[in-house]
Chain A
């Protein structure tokens, strides 16, 4: 099974900060990775698909990058409404989610 390790597990940042969330796979996942945002009590929302494709309707401050085993979600300027937990999801083989990064306001 492919393990997905997200870091940090909790991130505190200020409004306007550039925020970087990491997701590392235990083996090459060939960019087959999505990012989801989940707010408390809600269903997850797709932000980025296939590593770097912004889902329709998602603000352009969100971006994704990566290859091989290392992937990143970047928020260029943190907004209050971005407080949420972020999950990566690999579907290269035996699909798995990462454990999540909880993003808080400082």
Chain B
């Protein structure tokens, strides 16, 4: 069965970096892009962008240009999100999602907490 399994929760200090992963299984990884979605505590969903899993080319929403990097470990069917120079407002749950006629599969989410 198709699954997206994300890495575990992270506690970081402001200014640090974090890298979270999203491991896909049950389908051919390079046949579908991977999108990233942010959800701050108690807030709505915010689309961050996506990565072409065949070419590796990332596309970032305007609010996520600069400190955010999407990458791949294609041989491991894994997409990664790295956030550098963390700020308090980066505290959120980050989801990966596969587009297949809507986002039909989602990771369970990774809670990143930024606190001094």
Q: Check if B104 sits within 8 Å of A55, measured CB to CB.
A: yes
B90-107 vs A, CB cutoff 8 Å, 1 = contact: the mask equals: 000001010001111011
Q: Check if B47 sits within 8 Å of A97, measured CB to CB.
A: yes
Number of interface residues of A (CB under 8 A): 22
Size category of the binding interface on chain B: 10 to 19
Q: Are A44 and B45 also in contact (CB < 8 A) when A49-B102, A55-B102, A95-B61 are? A: yes
Which residues on the B side are within 8 Å of A36 (C-beta)? 45, 102-103
Interface positions of B from 33 to 59, Cβ below 8 Å from A: 37, 44-47
Which residues on the B side are within 8 Å of A89 (C-beta)? 45, 47, 103
A22-56 vs B, CB cutoff 8 Å, 1 = contact: the mask equals: 00000000000010101000011110111001010
- The SS class assigned to the A binding surface is strand
Q: Please, how many angstroms separate the alpha-carbon atoms of A44 and B93 in the complex? A: 12
Which residues on the B side are within 8 Å of A50 (C-beta)? 101-102
A71 sits at the interface (CB 8 A): no
Which residues on the A side are within 8 Å of B62 (C-beta)? 1, 94
Q: Check if A34 sits within 8 Å of B102, measured CB to CB.
A: yes
B17 sits at the interface (CB 8 A): no
A1-12 vs B, CB cutoff 8 Å, 1 = contact: the mask equals: 100000000000
